[in-house]
Structure 1
Amino acid sequence: MSYISIGKIDKSAAFEADFEPRFKLRTEKELISLPGPQWLVKHLIPTNSLILMYGAPGAGKSHIALALTQSIANGYEILGRRTNKAKIVYVAAEGAAGASNRVEAHRVYRNIPEDSEGDVLYLDCPVSLLHDGDLEDFVLAIVHKLAGQDIGLVFIDTLSRCFAGDENRADEMAQLVSACQIIQRELGCSVCLVHHEAKQGSARGSTVLPGAADTIIHVTPTDGKGFEAVIEKQKDAADGLVISGHYDLVELGIDEDGEPIEVPVALFDKISPQAKGKNNGPKGRNQAIALEVLSEASVSGLTEEDWQTAFTECIGSDNRRAFREAKIALLKRKLVSEIGGKFVAN
């Protein structure tokens, strides 16, 4: 760890004729004149940003990621929202077999000519994002393949296959964020991490990642027939939007047993503001854990001491401040009540 150790600053240096300030201060007028936020999909997918898409296994994350990929690469509007056509790199780290069928299904559905190369590049193996050699080779491979052409977005599907560290360690997750920022800087693009959901319903691992993300999309299935993608965080536009969609089956031929090969394609149906009260759940990992341990307790509830003990066992450290802040937030949002000296989940 480094510490500040400078002494008295010689301010006269700032008045020297050849002084060039390292930090550029802007007036309000200069700041306002700067370009505003730019979008790959207007008010949904920003440019040069870190995006986190997460959901439980089988929620449809990869299908939705591919639907976004095809829309952006081909310039298709999404629910009336303008899309700026851009090249995409998609890391299908879980293997080529499933990805191959899903990509072909989209091309068939969109009637893309068979001889069209398309504007998406696929990598069918993991990239170790915390390994300097892998990260540099990955960037160079993209630059070489595109021969200097611009790229809009890199999908990492899934994060767990490309991250050899401990998801629960804040320092290692911070290194992951730095790796993504390197990709953004070197390629001038956004990075979208497709990630898994923890049992509490939040994104798995340290809160460093969702804290650093500019956009967070939470994917959930609906009755096994469709999906919802909730924009939980959007730095430069409205959050809380809900994208609803369904799947169409596309037949790709007949398999070796004479049965049809049917592959689902995710289609977006509508976008709407989140229903009132729908997002009144716990915010962040600590609140989710505190609420979960209380929900699993007996109907009579827990004393504050017992509640804190259970919380400590779940997070693996005695962080009294984290517990206290979670408790206050849950009480304020009426997710928890105190009755006769004990706390119960509402």
Structure 2
Amino acid sequence: MQFLSYYDMCNLPEPEWLVEGLIQKRSTAVLFGKSNAFKSFLAIDIGLSVDTGQDWHGNEVSHGGVLFVATEGANGVGRLRIPGWYDHHRIEEENRRAFLYPKEIRLDVPDDVTALITRMKEDFFALVVIDIFGGSMAGSEIEDKTARAWVHGIQRILRETGASILTVAHTGWQDDTRARMHTHFWGSFDTRLKVEGDKEGMTATLTVERHKDADSTGSWGFRMVQSHGTLVAEMDADVKAKASAIKKKTGLSAGNRAALNALDDALAAHGIRKVGQDWPPCNVVSIDEWRKHAYLHSVEDDADTKRQAFYRARKELRDGGHIQVYDNHAWRCA
């Protein structure tokens, strides 16, 4: 067990960029957005820029091997999207070095993580792209136990291979300000990248929501163009991110935001539909189930303090119009 002295900690190395302004080396990033927002096409664009070493739309890239883990739609990814990107950018055959793992993977299972690390050490990989998040675990994406095992597995990959991890994820059912996952997953990423897409207009924006260890700024607009049987992202300065994507002001305290996220988790795990004029046209969940999820995420140790914090958050969220409660059940307001 090695401790760092004050001198050692002050001389820790500065973070290095894998893709300047976007993803750091030996870090984790999540690229999240709604369905049909062109997330997968942007993830391929980022990954293959690293693979070829060419600038990502003017941002300097550190060249290295890339592994795409396609947990769904692997045939289209391997047969059309990756070759189409190479063709569009006129990459010579000998410089097309990306790898594809065409199935689900269980990063919350230690033996599977060990197998992945062993295979990765046969080549040099600078980046692993996981698309999509829900297919990368044996357990449920809303369970605390699964989240802790998955995060531990990801940290092992970073530590033992030196690669970065880019995970593609959908936004929440009720909250498009965060990815659809347990809060322990959400809090573990070094970088969060939000994608907003316009399917009709064939445009997308990518915005840095947060870097843990760098300035959290940066937004890029893209036009999705048909090329070689797929869609390829081309930067377009006229495509602007929504102001809400650049800076989301919720007016919520950290405790109320945590309670709201816990409600999302409870709705995902235990949500049901109720029939009747007093019930909404969406899933609801019992207050008891919501409270259990809130306690899992609470930083308080004392049971009474947890209970008081939950009921305080419940009242403030209801008074603020964020939730509604009826007959000992709760749901998110539109």
TM over 0.5: yes
- Superposed counterparts of 1:11-30, under 5 Å: 22-27=2-7, 30=8
Q: Deviations over 1:197-228 (max 9, x none)?
A: 21121211210011111001122212531112
- Superposed counterparts of 1:1-346, under 5 Å: 22-27=2-7, 30-99=8-77, 100-113=79-92, 115-144=93-122, 146=123, 150-200=124-174, 201=176, 202-222=178-198, 224=200, 225-251=202-228, 262-270=229-237, 275=243, 278-281=247-250, 286-287=259-260, 312=287, 315=290, 317=292, 319=294, 320=307, 321-322=309-310, 324-325=312-313
Greater shift after overlay, 183-192 or 124-133? 124-133
Q: Deviations over 1:47-100 (max 9, x none)?
A: 111111222222211111000011111222234321111111111121432102
Q: CA deviation at 1:181?
A: 0.6
Q: CA deviation at 1:111?
A: 0.7
Greater shift after overlay, 280-289 or 61-70? 280-289
CA distance in 1, matches of 2:293, 2:147: 21
Q: What SS does the aligned partner of 1:217 have?
A: strand
CA distance in 1, matches of 2:118, 2:107: 14
Q: What SS does the aligned partner of 2:125 have?
A: coil
Q: CA deviation at 1:278?
A: 4.5
Q: What SS does the aligned partner of 1:107 have?
A: helix
Q: CA deviation at 1:285?
A: 6.0
Residue 240 of structure 1 contacts residue 273 of structure 1 at CA under 8 Å; is this kept in 2? no
CA distance in 2, matches of 1:101, 1:273: 28
Q: Deviations over 1:1-59 (max 9, x none)?
A: xxxxxxxxxxxxxxxxxxxx8412123xx544432111111121111111112222222
Q: Deviations over 1:121-145 (max 9, x none)?
A: 111122221223322222212222x
Aligned residues: 285
Q: Which amino acid aligns with 1:312?
A: I
Larger radius of gyration: 1
Greater shift after overlay, 126-135 or 198-207? 126-135
Change (3 A) 1:23 1:290: closer
Q: What SS does the aligned partner of 1:221 have?
A: strand
Q: Which amino acid aligns with 2:6?
A: R
Change (3 A) 1:102 1:273: closer
Task: Structure 1: state its 5+ residue gaps.
Answer: 1-20, 252-261, 294-308, 338-343
Residue in 2 that maps onto 1:340: none
Q: CA deviation at 1:327?
A: 6.4
Change (3 A) 1:285 1:122: farther
Change (3 A) 1:112 1:80: closer
Q: Which amino acid aligns with 1:236?
A: D
Task: Structure 2: state its 5+ residue gaps.
Answer: 268-283, 295-306, 324-331
Task: Report the TM-score, using the length of structure 2 for normalisation.
Answer: 0.74
CA distance in 2, matches of 1:136, 1:157: 20
Shift >4 Å, 4+ stretches:
270-274, 282-285, 288-291, 325-331, 334-337
Task: Report the TM-score, using the length of structure 1 for normalisation.
Answer: 0.71
